Amino acid sequence: MGHSTYAYVRRVKSDTDPSKIQLLKDFVSIGVIVYQGELDEYEKLISVLKEVDVVISALAGKRGAVLPPFQKLLDNRKIRRATEEAAIHFTYVSANSFAAYFVDYLLHPHDSTSDDVTLYGDGEAKAVLNYEEDVAIYAVKAATDPKVANRVIIYRPPKNVVSQLDLVAAWEKKTGRPIHKNHIPEQEIITLSQKLPFPDNVPAAILHNIFIAGAQLSFQLTDDDLEASKLYLEHNYTTVDDLLNRCLVDPPKPKLVVFS
């Protein structure tokens, strides 16, 4: 989109996942300037920050009540307070969930031999699944848009609000195959979050927050809220239905880092 781009990433080590190594190579091939380091390397981090005008940083966000393991990841309030106290211009982006990741995780579209899926809870809670590329495009647009300075943008395109049951029904219709649904009761998810050690219990807590508690739809948008798909009408975002159509011919590769 016309911006010079830098990426500060953790160092590649002998046990680094090959998919991450390939991703970094892909970044370099399209002109991204990659720095490798750790967050506690203060001087190096500061030197990189001085090279840029805008910093985009990913943090977990909280909507609604969350189970304790997930809560441990949400200590971003001190970062927000420090940013505001330093009078640094900011835009908070509520991106909700990544669509390609969770469509792959829930439906396994790459596996044409399996007609079984696992649903969490009753499958009826709504979530917001936004295509990763759209999230990135909206973030870059927001980063250079004075209208959203010191505001919160929420990514909640209406066609991306779906339940697990909605996804399964749409996939059954598109593939022409019936799908057997295995439900994991809410209490079982809660028990896993309590009994597994940290951080192994975090995935259960996240799945509960998104797909059982329906936390992403726990509040109504008002006329004062900034919703990305309405704010940037010139961008034709990828709907969940569009993504499922792509999965029919070119499903996403299985993620090597997934919830167990």
So what's the pLDDT on residue 61?
Answer: 61
Q: What sign does the CA torsion over 258, 228, 63, 241 have?
A: negative
> Mind listing the pLDDT tens digit for each residue in 201-213?
888 999 999 999 9
Full DSSP string of 179-240: -EEEEEPHHHHHHHHHHSPTTTTHHHHHHIIIIIS-GGGSS---TTSEEHHHHTTTS-PPPH
Q: Which long-range contacts (CB under 8 A, 24 or more apart) does 91-94 make?
A: 91/142, 91/143, 91/145, 91/148, 91/149, 91/150, 91/151, 91/152, 91/153, 92/151, 92/152, 92/153, 93/138, 93/139, 93/142, 93/152, 93/153, 93/155, 94/61, 94/63, 94/152, 94/153, 94/154, 94/155
- Spatial distance between the Cα atoms of 185 and 200, rounded to a whole number of angstroms: 19
DSSP3 helix / strand / coil % (the chain, rounded to 5) = 40, 15, 45
CB 151 within 8 A of CB 239: no
> Mind listing the pLDDT tens digit for each residue in 214-231?
999 999 998 889 999 999
- Spatial distance between the Cα atoms of 201 and 120, rounded to a whole number of angstroms: 15
Full DSSP string of 129-172: EE-HHHHHHHHHHHHT-GGGTTEEEE---GGGEEEHHHHHHHHH
For the segment 41-57, the average pLDDT, to the nearest whole number, is 89
- Partnered with residue 117 across adjacent β-strands are 181
CB 163 within 8 A of CB 127: yes
Residue written as token pair 């981090």:
45
Residue written as token pair 């009826």:
124
Burial 40-74 (b: 16+ CB within 10 A, else e): eeeeeeeebeeeeeeeeeeeebebeebbebbeebe
Element (H, E) at 35: strand 33-36
Element (H, E) at 107: helix 99-107
DSSP 126: E
> Mind listing the pLDDT tens digit for each residue in 145-186?
999 999 989 999 999 999 999 999 999 999 999 999 999 999
Q: Is the pLDDT of residue 69 over 60?
A: no
pTM assigned to the model: 0.86
For the segment 26-41, the average pLDDT, to the nearest whole number, is 92
User: How many residues comprise the chain?
Assistant: 260
Neighbours of 170 (CB within 10 A): 16
Label residue 235 by pLDDT band (50, 70, 90): very high
